[in-house]
Structure 1
Amino acid sequence: MDVHISLEGRSDLAAQVYRQLLDAILDGRLRSGERLAPTRELARRLEISRNTVALAYDRLVADGFLVGRAGAGTFVSAEPVRGRAAPTGVVLPRPFWRGVEPEPAVPGARYDFRAGVPDARLFPMDTWRRLVGRELRAGIATYGDPSGHGPLREAISRHIGISRSVLAGPDDVLVTNGAQQALDLVGRVLIEPGAVVAVEEPGYPPARLLFRSLGARVVGVPVDAEGIDVAAIPRSARIVYVTPSHQFPLGTPMSLARRAALLAWAERRRAVVIEDDYDSEFRFGARPLEPLQSLDRAGRVIYVGSFSKTLLPMLRIGFLVAPASLAPALRTAKRLCDWHSELPTQAALARFIDEGLLARHIRKATREYAARHVLIAEALAADDRLEPVPSAAGLHLCARLAPGVSVRPAPGVLAFESLEEYCGEEPAQRGLVLGYGVIGRDAIPEGLRLLRSRMSAGPETPAARF
């Protein structure tokens, strides 16, 4: 590996080479077993004597940091070298960031009911490898359009037009790195410091935190059986973030009457509605209602979607459809953020959609998720300690806990999420959020039996991830 070495002046050159190579080894930039450039080559690059480089190498060999192999070259010693940490420093982040803890890694569990994670075993990985390999061999070797790969934008506009009745052409689609970046771009373009953003309560915590990080004052608005309570939205709100197709985390769809009321409110208040349609492809029963975007006649809805739930989280491809008045600013924000999303993956996804593979995968996955949904829904309904929230779509179910019921943890064995985690207002609502994307159908009965055995009617305790 070529290591950057910068020489100052013409004195003590061997010592300068020695110190900079030593720093690279101690910092972990040069790892154990890596081959260094030959002395002649490094001397040529640095425009110094080969003997000078050889002297530095010899000293590192003598100190045990390098080892020479006859006929092979010079290598970093196989002895592990502990990397040095960056300076502690005195620079602090803004107050908001001092109070936000990194999302902890969730340990694996035998019975994994975590929400929002699709089953990787259902994904046609061999087909995906073929498509990605084809694009890599094609050799896309230039920067792309910040709005996204043209064929993918065309494919997305057709897909959401057919499957969700979203009104959008290719030029209306902006490809992002997951739905979270879509929300970030919208926030960058629309949120002024101190602006009020209304979110569902309970709701999606990463969206709430993101808007706060951009300087917004975030206000939770209650959700009932019909969706967000429009009458409770603050008059000063400039943005309303909702998940109308499958409310996250309760799972209920927003009624048509409530959708109409929200759009009328947004037009009166000159506000923007962000519609996050994160997993509505997986629908098991009721006919889907029209998205807010297709009902909107005033150009106040921004539609956000993602393939992370439909396919695999690791793909990190999302998109947004915004009114034409916002498109130039959002495209510029995307370019300033990361220029564009990764091109071979975009091109592969375009082929995946155009060849009918996405529709086939959704049909197959929906059948499997529907069977898991039924198993869990029937078990929740049969337990009088739980009050299931009606849901007919997505990758999770929610049930409220009866008063006084608590859940004992089972680390490493049982994993689920509590409704409290999704609440930003006090008092937090109590309940369980059970996903069925990770856990297989055959493991669900035993996992639910274990969950019921951990529930009691004792003192209330938080039912966090276990």
Structure 2
Amino acid sequence: MDVHISLEGRGDLAAQVYRQLLDAILDGRLRSGERLPPTRQLAHRLQISRNTVALAYDRLVADGFLVGRAGAGTFVSAEPVRGRAAPKGVVRPRPIWREVDTPAPLPSTRYDFRVGVPDARLFPMETWRRLVARELRVSAAGYSDPAGHIPLRAAISRHIGVSRSVHAGPDDVLITNGAQQALDLIGRVLIEPGACVAVEEPGYPPARRLFRSLGARVAGVPVDEEGIDVRAIPGSARIVYVTPSHQFPLGTPMSLARRAALLAWAERRNAVIIEDDYDSEFRFGARPLEPLQSLDRAGRVIYVGSFSKTLLPMLRLGFLVSPASLGPALRAAKHLSDWHGEVPTQAALARFIDEGLLARHIRKATRVYAARHTMIAEELAADVRLVPSSVGLHVCALGVSVRPTPGLTVEPLEAYCGESPPQRGLVLGYGAITLDDLPEGLRLLKSRMSAGPEAAAPRP
């Protein structure tokens, strides 16, 4: 391995070589078992005498950091060496970043009711490997369009046009690294410091934290059985973030009347609506309502979608559809953020969609998730108040809590509340637990569950 060493002046050169090699070992840049360059080679590269390098090596061997093997060379000692941490430093982030943290991921357990986790076993991995391998052979190696691979933008515009009635052409679509980057780009382009952004309460915590990190004042707006209460949106808000197809986390769809009211509000207030359509592909019953984007006539809705729940979170593929007036700014923000995503992955997804594989996967996964949804609803109907839901990867039970239990992972509704007092309840995902494990998982869940009086009360 080539080791970077810089020498200064004509002082003790052997000591400089020793110190820099020692730092590399202690920092973990040179790992146990790695071979160092021969002394003659390193001396030639540093333009110093071989004896100088040999002296530094001999000192490191004597200290136990290197070991010489006859006929093989000099290696970093097999004894484990802990890497040294970076200096603590005195630089501090802006105050908002001392409030925004990264929650630890929930552990994976046998009875895993985590939210937003699709079943990876349903994904056609071998087909995906074949598509990606093909694109790695043929994709250009240069920089690409910040808006994303053009065939993928075209495939997405066709897919959401057919499946969701979204009005979009390829030029209206921008590919992102998941829905979270889409929200970040929108915020960069639209949020002024101190601006008011309205979000659903309860709602999606990463969106709330993101908007705050961009300098926004975030206001939680109550959600009832028809969706966000438009009358409660602050008059100062100029952006509102909603999940109308399957409210996150309660699961209720926004009624058509409430959608019309929200669009009218945006028109009166000269505001923007961010519509996050995160898992509406999995529909088990009831007719789908029109997306806000397809009802919008004034160009005030930005539609955000993701393949993290439809396919796999590890793919980190999402997209947004914006009014033409915002397209250039969003594309520039994407370029400044990370230039562009992985072209082979985007090209593989384009083929996955165009060959009908995405539609086939959604049909198969929907049948599997529908069976799990039905079992949960039937098993818990007599014990808890479930929020009616016929789409997506989770259901919500109101007024109950669960005692921590080994082998059981459940998310409380309180974790999705940004206002006080938080609502009591559970959000039960069924993407990560198999149908075979569900009966025992639900039995364990009910045995650890306690209900308050609100569990059976009608919702306000």
Q: Which amino acid aligns with 2:239?
A: I
- Secondary structure, in 3 states, of the residue corresponding to 2:153? helix
Name the structure 1 match of 2:118.
118
Q: Which amino acid aligns with 2:385?
A: E
Name the structure 2 match of 1:456.
450
- Are 2:247 and 1:253 aligned? no
Shift of 1:82: 1.0
Alpha-carbon spacing, 1:158–1:50, altered in 2? closer, same or farther (3 Å):
farther
Name the structure 1 match of 2:206.
206
Name the structure 1 match of 2:90.
90
8 Å contact kept, 2:247–2:253: yes
- Are 2:414 and 1:416 aligned? no
Shift of 1:346: 1.4
Name the structure 1 match of 2:428.
434
Structure 2, unpaired ranges of 5+: 455-460
Alpha-carbon spacing, 1:158–1:3, altered in 2? closer, same or farther (3 Å):
farther
Deviation track 1:288-327 (CA, whole Å, cap 9, x = no partner) reads: 1111111111111111111111111111111111111111
8 Å contact kept, 1:191–1:216: yes
Deviation track 1:97-145 (CA, whole Å, cap 9, x = no partner) reads: 2123331132222211011000011111111122222222336421211
Name the structure 1 match of 2:61.
61
User: Structure 2 matches for 1:375-386, cutoff 5 A?
Assistant: 375-383=375-383, 386=384
- Secondary structure, in 3 states, of the residue corresponding to 1:360? helix
Deviation track 1:172-221 (CA, whole Å, cap 9, x = no partner) reads: 11111110011011101110011000000110000001001111000011
| Aligned mate of 2:402, from 373, 386, 407 | 407
8 Å contact kept, 1:406–1:459: no
Looking at structure 2, the residues matched to 185 and 251 of structure 1 have their Cα atoms a distance apart, in angstroms, of 26
Q: Percent identity?
A: 83
Shift of 1:50: 3.5
Shift of 1:38: 3.2
User: Structure 2 matches for 1:194-273, cutoff 5 A?
Assistant: 194-273=194-273
8 Å contact kept, 1:165–1:290: yes
Looking at structure 1, the residues matched to 43 and 339 of structure 2 have their Cα atoms a distance apart, in angstroms, of 37
Name the structure 1 match of 2:75.
75
Shift of 1:434: 0.3
Q: Which amino acid aligns with 2:195?
A: A
Name the structure 1 match of 2:457.
none
User: Structure 2 matches for 1:275-354, cutoff 5 A?
Assistant: 275-354=275-354
Alpha-carbon spacing, 1:459–1:323, altered in 2? closer, same or farther (3 Å):
closer
Q: Which amino acid aligns with 1:407?
A: V
Looking at structure 2, the residues matched to 290 and 339 of structure 1 have their Cα atoms a distance apart, in angstroms, of 33
Looking at structure 1, the residues matched to 453 and 110 of structure 2 have their Cα atoms a distance apart, in angstroms, of 27
Alpha-carbon spacing, 1:344–1:62, altered in 2? closer, same or farther (3 Å):
farther
- Secondary structure, in 3 states, of the residue corresponding to 2:325? coil
Q: Which amino acid aligns with 1:452?
A: K
- Secondary structure, in 3 states, of the residue corresponding to 1:193? coil
Looking at structure 2, the residues matched to 35 and 182 of structure 1 have their Cα atoms a distance apart, in angstroms, of 45
- Are 2:368 and 1:368 aligned? yes
- Secondary structure, in 3 states, of the residue corresponding to 2:276? strand
8 Å contact kept, 1:198–1:241: yes
Looking at structure 2, the residues matched to 210 and 406 of structure 1 have their Cα atoms a distance apart, in angstroms, of 28
Shift of 1:27: 0.6
- Secondary structure, in 3 states, of the residue corresponding to 1:398? strand
- Secondary structure, in 3 states, of the residue corresponding to 1:258? helix
Q: RMSD over aligned Cα, in angstroms?
A: 1.7
Name the structure 2 match of 1:464.
none
Name the structure 1 match of 2:390.
392
Looking at structure 1, the residues matched to 72 and 170 of structure 2 have their Cα atoms a distance apart, in angstroms, of 54
- Secondary structure, in 3 states, of the residue corresponding to 1:427? coil
Q: Which amino acid aligns with 2:266?
A: A
Looking at structure 1, the residues matched to 411 and 301 of structure 2 have their Cα atoms a distance apart, in angstroms, of 30
Alpha-carbon spacing, 1:241–1:457, altered in 2? closer, same or farther (3 Å):
closer
Alpha-carbon spacing, 1:126–1:457, altered in 2? closer, same or farther (3 Å):
closer
Structure 1, unpaired ranges of 5+: 461-466
User: Structure 2 matches for 1:78-227, cutoff 5 A?
Assistant: 78-138=78-138, 140-227=140-227
Deviation track 1:14-45 (CA, whole Å, cap 9, x = no partner) reads: 22222111111101111112222333433343
Shift of 1:168: 1.1
Alpha-carbon spacing, 1:108–1:315, altered in 2? closer, same or farther (3 Å):
same
8 Å contact kept, 2:222–2:232: yes
Alpha-carbon spacing, 1:334–1:41, altered in 2? closer, same or farther (3 Å):
farther
Shift of 1:457: 5.1
Name the structure 2 match of 1:463.
none
Deviation track 1:394-446 (CA, whole Å, cap 9, x = no partner) reads: 00000102xxx543220x31111111111111111111100000000011111
Looking at structure 2, the residues matched to 29 and 55 of structure 1 have their Cα atoms a distance apart, in angstroms, of 22
Looking at structure 1, the residues matched to 262 and 451 of structure 2 have their Cα atoms a distance apart, in angstroms, of 39
Looking at structure 1, the residues matched to 256 and 435 of structure 2 have their Cα atoms a distance apart, in angstroms, of 33
Greater shift in the superposed pair: 432-441 or 74-83: 74-83
8 Å contact kept, 1:241–1:274: yes
Looking at structure 1, the residues matched to 240 and 71 of structure 2 have their Cα atoms a distance apart, in angstroms, of 67
8 Å contact kept, 1:135–1:344: yes
Alpha-carbon spacing, 1:37–1:160, altered in 2? closer, same or farther (3 Å):
farther
Looking at structure 2, the residues matched to 46 and 350 of structure 1 have their Cα atoms a distance apart, in angstroms, of 50
Alpha-carbon spacing, 1:59–1:193, altered in 2? closer, same or farther (3 Å):
same
Greater shift in the superposed pair: 245-254 or 63-72: 63-72
Shift of 1:272: 0.4
Name the structure 1 match of 2:438.
444
Looking at structure 2, the residues matched to 216 and 164 of structure 1 have their Cα atoms a distance apart, in angstroms, of 31
Q: Which amino acid aligns with 1:421?
A: A
Q: Which amino acid aligns with 1:35?
A: R
